[in-house]
Structure 1
């Protein structure tokens, strides 16, 4: 969130497909490795049996170089170009119209490797939104403030970590622009394994929690939502092959009804 890690190149599926609750294909993502130095990702939503696609090109070190969005007949809709600082941290993301006209630009500023400010600027140079990050190393705390109109905070988030470099989040609190508490989530671990995620309402009372389940190989297999009365609702389920690679993911709505199924295949 506050420290941009470089994108690594893990073992990725050759294809990921998403289905709705009626088993109808609604999204497909294709992953291709070329010359062993970059991934080309093609991702699209199914619309009248055609795809609106996104093609992503990477630098050899795994950083995103460019994203090209195309319509159903292959025409470019938008292009996003990413630039980086010498140390590899993202410097900017610029979105262009196919004609080359700049649409908007997001700029990132850091201090000692930590993200300090993110600014979104329109094509005329005016600030759309600005987000600042206040780092408190003594408390392992990051305060995120999102600004709309100049100097007007629209949202504040407080993140507390076990330490800054592991990235293990312990607590997240959200406030309105007027600094009114809205909700909190508290994460509980066993060593480095996430077991439970508790959610608290604006009154500060626990509303529900998510419970995480793992198999003998410490792979996440299921997430359940537990209400205050003890009712358990399915949230997410994961499936793996014998090599430990994910092959399926099922999402459920607030009432425990399946809303999407993802299928992963590998080459």
Structure 2
């Protein structure tokens, strides 16, 4: 199914054969915890009743794992049976019910996605980074931490809005691809951050292995950490609160004039 704005990728669909009732719950992944919570939510709504003797599912690992099996066996005393599509009459009915509910669920999701804000062509945006980078533009492996740069400092322009049936809106940005001069891939709304018209643009920058144009303005302080001398650097177009500690050796090589001024005025 298409990706929901809240990050849901799947539906758990439960069919009560005896009363011909169906209910569904969206889930973000197929882990045992997600599937188990979805089962509990569905049965907690009381639209359909929990199984009395046996619960039949397909043989996917999201159902055959011990956490799911133990819950149904030990909590409500129900055995689980895993089958192949079309093998049992009950499964055939369940498959038809799932196919019947699939279309309205997709339409509902698409309607929710279309209610989200649509960005116009010409809007200035930044792209969400897949990995954090340092203030000097170096890629940092691991998870994002407080203070990490999460949006590409390079400003892009939306060149084209793409609307497709049963899919979230996507956007092509300015780039070198094709005669239209657009990006090679399309981006969803949550991958883009809008830059207000009256907001000062961030420094020109190209990331991912190419030099950043962050310009040191002055040195504010110094310290020794693990035997290495470091200077506290204030960057042009950034406040002093965003100053960073940098290696003295690197600054001596890149901006010796600032080091000289600091050492002779402190």
Band the TM-score falls in, shorter-chain normalisation:
under 0.3
Please, what TM-score do these two structures have when normalized by structure 2? 0.19
Q: Which structure has the highest strand share of the two? A: 1
Bigger helix fraction: 2
- Which structure has the larger Rg over C-alpha atoms? 2
